[in-house]
Structure 1
């Protein structure tokens, strides 16, 4: 199974802060794009904050450039948009620059994307490991994209396959059926994911070429048929949003949790059904590498309301059990 709980720092977030400028503040229009500057109330590492949105090192919708800037291409309610986020040296501020029909939408939600809606102080560590990890990673915050489909489709692709398989499928399908991102787009290397209708029209042989089996492809097709209803879930509490997502056959608790962690910044949406996470949590908190979902949830019970944050801190700690079993084998349906 392609889990989203890689303990590398690129998969985690650090604190952003409350928005320093209210909604509707005039934004400067530059020659290259529309610009918004925001000042977080604490330390902010852009790679850590936005890392959970990256689907592998060659994700066509996400790039980190040598200058430290992070680029994202999104399909927003206003249309395709490209967002470049960078730190302003010596000021503690963050500069967002956006292009395309979705530029205003992306800039309006820049603080939420960087964790302004999150409340890290709600987390009270009950284990020394988590207290030490939080101290080493000050101001952990959870991002909120406000978009469902852009996290749902890659999460479905990651169901019960290796990460390499899922990343490859996402990369091939976005590049073939998406569109080039507007603006300079990280040197022309970014692509906007396809719209719901485009996903629905992908022929069966293209799913096959991308290594996507019929079960996952059918789940995506069912989801995009009700895309508008699923996007409405961003206005619901996370638990209700998960329930709505799970009405679609093929979407279960694992997938819905992976989505709301990103779309809602859901601090309590712990992932169940993951191949590795229960053993990692069990090992870190109780020395039990063979913990199952029930054991993991029991260990995380003291963190009710903040269980996803607790799991993130555990992964950041790097305390994971040594591998004893072979890696999950890579499947290839293209020759079938």
Structure 2
């Protein structure tokens, strides 16, 4: 159903059930200073979320606003710029509304809980408390790949700093009535043209810089992987192609698959904190990647869904040892 068009394109989308805009889009937010995002209200819970995105048709600004409690009044989506049509066409995917795997996940939990699995019963309770959680799918590989590479082997603070500086300097202004300072991801060619000293100033190591340049060089081929669609196991079909690019390993591939492809099963093994958090939720003890994957095995096909519910459960993992040092590479 179409809403009054105050932008280039506008649509009112019915989520057909409870919906949490902020929780769905939060995996795309890279700090409060992310120049590609603007959130009105905490995690988008009380206001619209603006997003600048580089689509296959060109730059676009998309504004999403959940109307009424749990989006009971629909989701008001408006878009501006050359990529506005593409953005509205793919808005349901971005909002996770094309994901039809939840009934199978619910059936899996019910079966495991009926067999006496306490973790599955706990996940059922989380699912009942968060029925509006969905798995997004941006359909934009370059964006997810660049962000994941910048996050390799550094703290979140370092990665967000590099993302902010590089996009502010080399991204285009977001089209339409976007909030001040919003930018669009640089094009693949623009990433390749950034001089070495600007990567250095942004705190990006040569290894990550070179990986992003290699990704940008084959960006059209990577974008074509979106045609595989959203389903568990898609990562297995794509892994060989991605991993043929030096610098793209299993963790980076999982981060891309979760956001760009919306894969419901990929897990970011190799993350500094994830294994500890997941194993602590299941067992009360910290654990490594091998233990995390063992605990998630009964949920194969839906392991990313399980991780999202655990991450949103509010349970914090006790941390031990020294805090990671934030390195500043700009004076080296």
Q: Given the two structures, how large is their TM-score scaled by the length of structure 2?
A: 0.89
| Structure 1 position 234, deviation (Å) | 0.7
The answer to whether the aligner puts 1:277 opposite 2:274 as a matched pair is yes
Segments of structure 2 that go 5 or more residues without pairing to the other structure are 113-118, 229-233
Structure 1 CA distance for aligned equivalents of residues 223 and 239 of structure 2: 12
Which whole-Å deviations, capped at 9, do the CAs of 1:179-223 have from their partners, x for residues lacking one? 11000112x221001000000000000000000000100100111
| Structure 1 position 83, deviation (Å) | 0.1
Structure 2 CA distance for aligned equivalents of residues 218 and 164 of structure 1: 21
User: Which residue is equivalent to 1:212?
Assistant: 204
User: Which residue is equivalent to 2:104?
Assistant: 122
Which whole-Å deviations, capped at 9, do the CAs of 1:18-42 have from their partners, x for residues lacking one? xxx6xxxxx5672433101110111
Residues 120, 140 of structure 1: 8 Å contact kept: no
Secondary structure in 1 matching 2:285: coil
User: Which residue is equivalent to 2:124?
Assistant: 131
| Structure 1 position 279, deviation (Å) | 1.2
Which whole-Å deviations, capped at 9, do the CAs of 1:111-158 have from their partners, x for residues lacking one? 111112212222233513322221211142101111101111011000
User: Which residue is equivalent to 1:69?
Assistant: 48
The answer to whether the aligner puts 1:244 opposite 2:241 as a matched pair is yes
User: Which residue is equivalent to 1:15?
Assistant: none
User: Once superposed, what is the RMSD of the aligned Cα atoms?
Assistant: 1.6
Residues 25, 136 of structure 2: 8 Å contact kept: yes
Secondary structure in 2 matching 1:267: coil
The answer to whether the aligner puts 1:333 opposite 2:329 as a matched pair is yes
Structure 2 CA distance for aligned equivalents of residues 136 and 311 of structure 1: 15
The answer to whether the aligner puts 1:39 opposite 2:4 as a matched pair is no
User: Which residue is equivalent to 1:108?
Assistant: 89
Number of paired residues? 309
Structure 2 CA distance for aligned equivalents of residues 62 and 317 of structure 1: 24
Pick the structure with more helix per residue: 2
The answer to whether the aligner puts 1:149 opposite 2:142 as a matched pair is yes
Aligned positions of 1:191-210 closer than 5 A: 191-210=183-202
Q: Given the two structures, how large is their TM-score scaled by the length of structure 1?
A: 0.88
| Structure 1 position 324, deviation (Å) | 1.5
Which whole-Å deviations, capped at 9, do the CAs of 1:46-80 have from their partners, x for residues lacking one? 11111111111110001111451000000001100
Residue of 237, 257, 263 corresponding to 1:260: 257
Q: Residues 41, 29 of structure 1: CA spacing in aligned structure 2 closer, same or farther, 3 A cutoff? A: closer
Residue of 291, 298, 304 corresponding to 2:300: 304
